[in-house]
Each structure stands twice: as structure tokens, then as C-alpha cells.
Amino acid sequence: MINTDHATLPSIQDARLPETYDRAKTALAECSRIDECQSWADKAAALASYARQSKDDSLRKMADRIQARAIRRAGELLKQIPAAPGTRTDLGTAQSQGLTRTQVADEAGLSERQRKTALRVADVPEPEFTSLVESDAPPTVTKLAEIGTKKQLVDLKGRDPKEFNKSLHFIALFDRHLKKCSEYEIEQTTAILTTEERAELRSIINKIDAIHDQIMTRV
């Protein structure tokens, strides 16, 4: 299990590595302290601000996704605590003393607005939350909280949530691929490729085409 007691976001340089986001997701999923979740959210917000100033869109999206997941995790932990006084023995020292949800949030350093936002983001159905956060344009925390307030129901089309989530990611993968390829001037870019790079690109495209053929025969 990842130790989240001192979980920190990476340096600006390391934050560009794809595995950074996977590590953050794992750490947050296992995080059991509300104050640490909020710390993750605050640091991710700062990282997103830096990314916007430096016009690093990829870094900004990653930071936004981490912030959303951190706030959602804080909300999930808060929802485990009864809104009215009660004793729980499985939620840590501060959370097992018969404190209310609001009192626990206060002790974790959350303002009233942060507490309500976390709870509302946690109310977004998991498949919908994942689809939105992992999209090419992840919504703001404010927007996620609005969705949680409405408690919209997702039409799973007769599938279980995992199947629904998998299908959304599958389609989004190709959508991102299309958008990324469209960012390049094909004629200009291919003109500067070396002979070795052209051969490597043809090999990759042939493999992609084979996968596309498998998909097309099934859809």
C-alpha cells in the first residue's frame, strides 16, 4: 500500500511524466485522511495555475484531474461519517469520537464551502465522474459540484458500471488520437522525416491499421 502520510506532487519537471498521474490516482484512492486529500487538491490547484501561466495544456489537464480526484476522495471520506453525532471506530482518531461530519471537516481544515463542494463532487456517479475527468476537456471542480447537486442519473444502456466506463474510455481513446493527429500539418511534418523515421512510422501505422480492422469488423 502506498504511504499517503507524506504524499506530495512531483516537481514541475517530473510532473510531465505520464506515470505521475497513475501514481497520484493510486495514492488518492488509498488516502484515508481528509486533510491529506485537501492538501493534494491545494497543491494540484497550484500546479494547474503554473501550467496555465506557462501555457502547458497537458500539465494543466493532469493537475485539474488530480485536484478533482482529491476533492472527490475527501467527499467520499466525509460521506462515511454520519451527518448527526455518532460513533465510528473505523475512520481514524478524530473521526471516531462521535463527531459530526461538519466537525470532522472543520478539524481537517475545510471551510464550509470546501466541505459542501467535496460532498457534491462525491455525489457524481462514478462512471460519469471518470468519463468527465478523463475527457480531453476535464471540467472544473465547480462544474463537477453542480453535476453532483443535480444527481443526474447515467443511462448505462443495460450494462454494469464497469462495462459502461470501459466503453467510454475506449471511444475517448480514438477521439484523443484523432484530435492529436489533427494538430499536425501532415505534409510539412512528413517532409522532414528521415528514411529511418519514415520506416518506423509505416511500421507503427501498419500495426494500428491491423487493430482498426479488427474493430471495424466488429462494429
Lowest mean pLDDT among 30-39, 88-97, 109-118: 88-97
The predicted pLDDT at position 8 comes to 54
Q: Please answer whether residues 10 and 17 qualify as being in contact, where contact means their C-beta atoms are separated by less than 8 angstroms.
A: yes
**pTM, rounded to two decimals:** 0.60
87: left (phi over 0), alpha (psi -120 to 50) or beta: beta
**Rg value, the chain, Cα:** 21
CB atoms within 10 A of CB 132: 18
Domain boundaries, the chain: 14-165, 186-219
- Give the C-alpha separation, 34 to 40, whole Å: 10
Lowest mean pLDDT among 3-7, 13-17, 99-103: 3-7
The predicted pLDDT at position 18 comes to 52
Instruction: Give me 189's grid cell.
Output: 511534418
Q: What is the dihedral of CA 202, 207, 213, 216, to 10 degrees?
A: -100
Instruction: Give me 145's grid cell.
Output: 459540484
The pLDDT tens digits for 111-151 are 999 999 999 999 998 888 999 999 889 999 999 999 888 75
Lowest mean pLDDT among 23-27, 38-42, 68-72: 23-27
Between 183 and 119, residue with greater pLDDT: 119
